[in-house]
Structure 1
Amino acid sequence: MTEGRSLSPEKIAEDLSYRIIRGGFLPGEKLRQDHIAEEFRVSHVPVREAFLRLVAKGLAVSKPRHGVRVAPLDPDAQREVKVMRLALEPVALMHSVPQLTPAQIGAAEEARRHCDACENIFDWEAANRAFHMATMAGCAMPRLLEEIANLQLLAARYILVHYKDRWRPRIDPDHHALMAAIRRKDPRMATSILERHLSRLN
Structure 2
Amino acid sequence: MDKFTVLEGVAAPMRIVNVDTDKIIPKQYLKTIKRTGLGTGLFSEMRYDDAGNERPDFVLNQPGYRNAKVLVAGDNFGCGSSREHAPWALLDFGIRCVISTSFADIFYNNCFKNGILPIVVTPEQIELLFDDAERGANATLTIDLEAQQIKGPDGGTISFEVDPFRKHCLLNGLDDVGLTMAKKPAIDRYEATAATSRPWA
- The question of a shared fold, defined as TM-score above 0.5 by the shorter chain, is answered with no
- Higher-Rg structure is 2
The structure with more helix, counted as a fraction of residues:
1
- Ranked by relative contact order (alpha carbons within 8 Å, sequence separation 6 or more), the top structure is 2
Q: TM-score, normalised by structure 2?
A: 0.24
Q: TM-score, normalised by structure 1?
A: 0.24
